[in-house]
Amino acid sequence: MSIPKGQTISVKVIDLVNVSGVPNKSTYAPPVEGVEIFPASPSLCFLLEHNSGRRLLFDLGVAFNSSKLGEKLQKDLANFGWKVEVKEDLAVFLDKNGVPPDSIEAKSNSFASHTHWDHKGDISTFPPSTDLIVGPNTVAKFVHGDGNGPYGGITLDDMQGRTLREVKCDIKVGPFPAMDYFGDGSLYILDSPGHDHGHICALARTTSNPDTFVLFGGDAAHHGSELRPTKHLPMPKSIVPNPQTGLMHPPLCPGDWFRDTNQKRGLDPEGPLYRPSFAIASMEHTLQTIEKIQEMDGNESVLCLLAHDPSVRHKSMPLFPESLNDWKSKGLRKFLDWSWVGDVWNELERNLAMPKST
């Protein structure tokens, strides 16, 4: 992975949203018998603090005021059986915890990985001095085009008195077209199209000498089962600690079941359990973006965090106000990389579909 040397940026993970009741078939394909629903998922926000004092947010979660979602979306969520719980607005949470909304100042900004309702939050709760930064082609699609709909977009309320800025990704970082946001290598914005128009990821440098990074994946994928295993990160013969129990013994040894299950469904026996079941902009680009993330995920110095992956709720995961920057020295990946296998195993167990031997 070719990334120039650079400065670091502080990363803090904020988990204020719980989304439950989402059937796997609405998000993942092909279906797996006995694996019908994964645990409730977050909609993560990330507070990024630059050494210059500038503060940024990557993704804003879900609006606490449900009327901001619109009548159509609220009805659809109820009809789908989805339950969306929001503890409080991101701006209120930050203010209570010593980060006033007006400290996300004119020279600092908020990013939305894309414009869906569960990422754009309620930007109106931040002062107009906070710019809204979006990915390539977002303005053409949502401001000047026909992209707005009940599930997301850029509205007049979003832009009221506020600067809307679209990033230009004209360098390359790893496999991605990118933008060096501060010009010092601390934060790269990654053009990652497919899931939605203008979708972006971000790469934050968390330590230097040696370099480590956190990759914010947005909705490029939704669960670890879409990313792993791969040729870059094969499934271990035994997973320790056991992702079901959290204990070191006995380990979980699911490899044969995964290979057989993938083979029966026409997938790579050594590849991920699922593919996305839908893409708003382009399935081809979605799969290409996932491949790029998988390449970076295979580097032991990169921690990949997806916006809705429940693995972030592992007890070892530091959440705001704690910093995530020392994730590697704490060995966090050994807990998170394969925790999603526990989601699969728990579902098989719940539905009495466990393989005879694990």
**pLDDT score of 246:** 85
Q: Give the domain CATH number at 26.
A: 3.60.15.10
- Provide the pLDDT confidence category of residue 109 given band limits of 50, 70 and 90: low
* Residue 224 structure tokens: 């670890």
Instruction: Flag whether 331 is in a domain.
Output: yes
* 112-126 residue pLDDT tens: 777 888 988 988 899
* 246-257 residue pLDDT tens: 888 888 899 899
What's the CA gap between 181 and 290, in Å, rounded?
A: 22
Q: Which residues form the domain of 142?
A: 9-350
What's the CA gap between 42 and 60, in Å, rounded?
A: 12
Instruction: Flag whether 3 is in a domain.
Output: no
Instruction: Flag whether 355 is in a domain.
Output: no
- Provide the pLDDT confidence category of residue 299 given band limits of 50, 70 and 90: very high
274 vs 138 pLDDT, higher one: 274
**pLDDT score of 357:** 54
Sort residue 331 into left (φ over 0), alpha (ψ -120 to 50) or beta: left
Mean pLDDT calculated for residue range 41-57: 95
Is the pLDDT at 108 greater than 50, yes or no? no
- Provide the pLDDT confidence category of residue 148 given band limits of 50, 70 and 90: confident
What's the CA gap between 207 and 104, in Å, rounded?
A: 23
**pLDDT score of 160:** 80
What's the CA gap between 95 and 171, in Å, rounded?
A: 36
Instruction: Flag whether 336 is in a domain.
Output: yes
Instruction: Flag whether 4 is in a domain.
Output: no
145 vs 66 pLDDT, higher one: 66
Mean pLDDT calculated for residue range 189-205: 94
**pLDDT score of 80:** 86
Instruction: Flag whether 179 is in a domain.
Output: yes
Peptide bond into 127 cis (omega under 30): no
Entry pTM: 0.94
**pLDDT score of 194:** 92
- Provide the pLDDT confidence category of residue 152 given band limits of 50, 70 and 90: confident
- Provide the pLDDT confidence category of residue 164 given band limits of 50, 70 and 90: confident
Is the pLDDT at 91 greater than 90, yes or no? yes
* Residue 281 structure tokens: 């902009």
Q: Buried b vs exposed e over 159-170: b needs ≥16 C-beta within 10 Å? A: eeebebeebebe
Instruction: Flag whether 112 is in a domain.
Output: yes
Mean pLDDT calculated for residue range 184-200: 94
**pLDDT score of 1:** 72
Instruction: Domain count for the chain, please give it.
Output: 1
Collapsing DSSP to helix, strand or coil, 339 comes out as: helix
Q: How many residues does the chain have?
A: 358
Report the share of the chain in percent with pLDDT over 90: 68
DSSP code per residue over 270-329: TS-S-EES--SS-HHHHHHHHHHHHHHHTSTTEEEE-TT-GGGGSTT---TTS--TTTTT
Is the pLDDT at 163 greater than 50, yes or no? yes
Instruction: Flag whether 356 is in a domain.
Output: no
**pLDDT score of 330:** 96
* 340-352 residue pLDDT tens: 999 999 999 998 8
* Residue 166 structure tokens: 């679209």
105 vs 209 pLDDT, higher one: 209
What's the CA gap between 236 and 4, in Å, rounded?
A: 31
Rg (CA), the chain: 20
Sort residue 346 into left (φ over 0), alpha (ψ -120 to 50) or beta: alpha
